[in-house]
Amino acid sequence: MEITTAAYSGSFVKVEDCPASNIPEYAFIGRSNVGKSSLINMLTGRKGLAHVSNTPGKTQTINFFNINETWHLVDLPGYGYAKTNKKIRAGFGPMIENYLLKREALTCTFVLVDSNIEPRKNDMEFINFLGENQVPFVIAYTKCDRLSKAQLDRHLTAIRAAILESWETLPQEFITSSEYRNGREDILSFIQEVNNNC
């Protein structure tokens, strides 16, 4: 898939305020500081489309980007640690949950998992939440360029083992690096294939 247009469409705090849509939506979510904005910018080829910050938890709204006029990329707030006001942070759960469970246009959720660290409880809980509620999802491992192949293999093996404690089979996976654009074609080809079947 070639990205010809990528335009910001708006930010919302309630799912009922999100724009009416007759095109597929792909949500991107992960722990705070997982590298979500960098991945979104790499995928779209637009360096400043999603705001990249050194401060975890900067995304506090549901952000819509119209891609090629054929699908929406939806940037969701991160879960886990975030240096934000406690009252604001407390709203992330219901906001995310309502979007994932009520948004009819949602076609697939990309769960971003940091390949540099051991399995995290909140990642596993979130993946299990999606499964329990039959929300389609795939996993995108981020920052895969920061480890040696042996280290990356060990970390991914540990994460997969943690997932398989609750799952019979692994979801589809993508190995990514925003720095070297690894995984870009695989993810965009996946989205194109799903769009073709919608």
Tell me the whole-structure pTM to 2 decimals: 0.92
Residue 1, domain member (yes or no): no
Task: Say which residues have a Cβ less than 8 Å from residue 119's Cβ, sequence separation at least 6.
Answer: 158, 159, 161, 162, 163
Residue 31, domain member (yes or no): yes
Write the CATH number for 183: 3.40.50.300
Domain count, the chain: 1
pLDDT of residue 55: 47
Residue 95 is part of which domain span? Answer: 6-197
Residue 15, domain member (yes or no): yes
CB contact at 8 A, 51 and 6: no
Give the pLDDT means over successive 10-residue stretches in the chain (198 positions).
Answer: 95 92 96 93 93 56 95 90 50 82 97 94 91 96 96 96 96 97 98 96
CB contact at 8 A, 122 and 80: yes
Residue 165, domain member (yes or no): yes
Tokens representing residue 25 in the block: 């939506």
Residue 11, domain member (yes or no): yes
pLDDT of residue 39: 97
Residue 141, domain member (yes or no): yes
Q: What angle do CA 125, 157, 78 make, to 5 degrees?
A: 35
Residue 108, domain member (yes or no): yes
